[in-house]
Structure 1
Amino acid sequence: MSDIEIKLVRSRVEEILARYKHLIDKDFPGYRNHVYRAITYAMHFLDNEPEYEALIETIFAYHDIGLWTDHKLAYLEPSEAVALADNEKYDWGFDPQLLRNAIHWHHKITPYSGKNEAVIEACRKADWVDISKGHIRKGMSKAVIKKVEAAFPNLGFQSTLLRLTKDYEGSTLVGSIKVTRGIMKW
């Protein structure tokens, strides 16, 4: 695996997220940095192969967007729908099934196997590394994770998720149960 490559600005990500910034509102800086960290990890798992970059950037820009577009804790399908609609609207030409599956399976607990396994697994592992703040490392060193987190500080992203569970469901407990049932996959 090559050394971690950190890109501080990704024009595709900035363009996509700009369309939704008003919806994400105060949560924007934390979500943006989560997206950048996840892209960095996923690209690392894919040996920084340029052929995957635009796809990975797109997947992660949209992967949690349903939290804000649809105000739902079961946000995978809403996130998929927004990504697929924009893929068609802007004629990006990404394989719709790959885009959908990468978003749909990014919280899968066990390894993904099947069509487009390399991309979907890279996305799944990258999100687990980031959402766990590096406690789940998927083969990444602590030093690499620290380097990525220094470039893109957390800015309370996990706290945002906890707040949204309470805001959307009236209770962190009820919200956490709905999140677990709605987005965790085996």
Structure 2
Amino acid sequence: MSSIEIKQQRPRVDDILERYKHQIGEDLPGYRNHVYRTITYAMHFVDNDAQYEPFIETAFAYQDIGLWTDHQLAYLEPSEAVALADNAKFGWGFDVQALQGAIHWHHKISPYTGPHQTVIEACRKADWIDASKGMLRKGLDKRIIADVEAAFPNLGFHDTLLRLAKDYGGSTLVGGIKVTLGIVKW
């Protein structure tokens, strides 16, 4: 069995999330752990190449943030806008097309091909693993996924998504349909 590198501390992520802690509120611990899990998987898919780490950390910190900043079930574009604004504001210098793409395509069902394919595809696969609670493994051994989930417990993150679907959509069913239509890409 292969292993996966698990980093318990990611100051870049925590700094970004700190800026939005009042908007995210009580959902922050669950969202933070979702972000940490997805970063862990994505870094594994790029062979832990350090050149990608700041970018992947940033993209995943913002991937779903539009749920809280804009109260939108179709949250990809709002999340992209917040990420791009902060990229400019703080002078991080991330390629705009890459940052927007990593967020925009992270729910794409089929493999991503196009500009920045390596990192965007790593992010896409990572999020599908976590969104499916490890049912979709994208080539990872289930014991590796269990190790990552043990390091960063769910803390109700998937329940939060259901609650927000109901809150923003009027019912879990209607919200679920709206969120699926708004974020899943073919």
Q: TM-score range by the shorter chain?
A: over 0.9
Over aligned residue pairs, what C-alpha RMSD do you find?
1.1
- The amino acid that maps onto 2:63 is H
Q: Secondary structure at the match of 1:107?
A: coil
C-alpha deviation, 1:113, in angstroms: 0.4
Corresponding residue of 2:136: 136
Partner of 1:43: 43
Q: CA deviation at 1:3?
A: 3.2
What TM-score does the superposition give when structure 2 sets the normalisation length?
A: 0.98
Q: What count of residue pairs does the alignment treat as equivalent?
A: 186
Q: Which residue of 2 aligns with 1:7?
A: 7
Residue of structure 1 in register with 2:25 after alignment: 25
CA–CA separation in structure 2 for the residues paired with 1:18 and 1:164: 21
| Identity rate, percent | 72
The AA in structure 2 aligned to 1:99 is L
1:88 is matched with 88
- Structure 1 residue 104 and structure 2 residue 123: aligned? no
Corresponding residue for 1:184? 184
Aligned-pair distance for 1:142? 0.6
Describe the superposition over 1:120-142 as per-residue Cα deviations: whole angstroms up to 9, x where unpaired. Answer: 10000000000111000000001
What amino acid is aligned across from residue 75 of structure 1 in structure 2? Y
Normalised TM-score (structure 1): 0.98
Residue aligning to 2:124: 124
- Say which SS state the counterpart of residue 173 (structure 1) adopts: helix
5+ long unaligned stretches in structure 1 = none
How far is the alpha carbon of 1:170 from its aligned partner? Answer: 1.2
Q: In the alignment, is the contact (CA less than 8 A) between 1:107 and 1:124 conserved in 2? A: yes
One-letter amino acid matched to 1:163: R
Structure 2 residue identity aligned to 1:166? K
> Are 2:147 and 1:147 aligned?
yes
Aligned equivalent of 1:161: 161
Alpha-carbon distance in structure 1 between the residues aligned to 2:93 and 2:151: 31
Where structure 2 has 5 or more consecutive residues not aligned to the other structure, the ranges are none
Deviations along 1:76-96, one digit per CA (max 9) or x if unpaired, are 000000000000000000000
Per the TM alignment, residue 69 of structure 1 is displaced from its structure 2 partner at its CA by 0.1
Give the secondary structure class of the aligned counterpart of 2:20.
helix
Matched residue type, 1:31: Y
**Contact 1:3-1:44 at 8 Å conserved across structures:** no
